[in-house]
Amino acid sequence: MYAKYVEPQQLTVRRYDVVHPLIPKSFDGCRLLQFSDVHLGYHYSVDHFQRVVKRMNDLDPHVICFTGDLLDEPNQYEHVDAITSLLTQLHAPLGKFCIYGNHDHGGYGTDIYKRMMTASGFRLLVNEWVTIERGHERIAIVGLDDFMLGKPNFAKTVQQLPKETYTIALIHEPDLVTQASVYPFHLQLSGHSHGGQIQLPWIGPLVTPPLAKQYVEGFYDIGQLTLYVNRGLGTTRMPFRFLTPPELTLFTLKAGS
């Protein structure tokens, strides 16, 4: 069956230039890789993820951002050490960053996920921000806790966020962009939707999860904020994808005028 055995294996790489006047010249050409919603478990194996890790490293990113949902059922997953080792192999000289998704908190997974990501060199951002420096210039990366099972706090997150600094917000659920758009963010990276997993021609996605009803995949502009919704790598509930192949997204930052 195509939707079960073929399309879920057809990894696509989407490449986009992101142009903004606040992107410093020293970051011109900086490559940021987003991956999301792996849902490792019964329908997504260690071997499958190993191939994806190799593909990510082949893209030679400077920065890697994971936007949540690593394990489908964290407290039942048996290959934590193997996945931690694979995540450690991901290479990004300017840093690896991640946030919680709803599945990372679910199934008593909060501490399991935290241990895995920190042990593998990722900076887990929970209502906080960090800056990345390159050539005496900087950009900021913000991470919000999950909105379904976590304790997100926009006001706390933006405290002392440097002004006039290009800022990328990692927020698992895309529909929160309406709230995010009132804060000094320039690019929001989200997942959660899986692109609907199953879409039909002229109809679109049959079902999307809560907080991914309005923004399902790709780019959207909301005021001064640009949202990108990644379709993710794995599946949940049903092991099917149709017209929504799994994706990695490679953004190349461009200093705009």
Inter-residue contact 63 to 32 (CB < 8 Å): yes
40 phi and psi angles, rounded to 5 deg: -60, 135
Domain count, the chain: 1
Q: How far apart are CA 193 and CA 196, in angstroms?
A: 6
To which H or E segment does residue 222 belong? strand 218-222
82-131 pLDDT, tens digit per residue, is 999 999 999 999 999 999 999 999 878 899 999 999 999 999 999 999 99
> Picking from 31-40, 64-73, 76-85, 203-212, which range would have the lowest pLDDT averaged per residue?
203-212
219-249 pLDDT, tens digit per residue, is 999 999 999 999 999 998 888 898 999 999 9
129-167 pLDDT, tens digit per residue, is 999 999 899 999 999 999 999 999 999 999 999 989 999
User: What predicted TM-score, i.e. pTM, was given to this entire model?
Assistant: 0.97
Query: Residue 175 belongs to what domain range?
Result: 2-255
- Return the closest-CA partner of residue 121 out of 94, 152, 153: 94
Q: What is the pLDDT of residue 52?
A: 98
Confidence of residue 3 (pLDDT cuts 50, 70, 90): confident
pLDDT over 90 at 67, yes or no:
yes
Confidence of residue 6 (pLDDT cuts 50, 70, 90): confident
* Count of beta carbons in the 10 Å neighbourhood of residue 74: 22
Q: Cα dihedral sign for 221, 225, 190, 61?
A: positive
136: left (phi over 0), alpha (psi -120 to 50) or beta: left
**Residues near 39 by Cβ (< 8 Å), separated by ≥ 6?**
69, 70, 71, 72, 103, 232, 233, 234, 235, 236
Q: What CATH code is carried by the domain that includes residue 51?
A: 3.60.21.10
Q: What is the pLDDT of residue 174?
A: 98
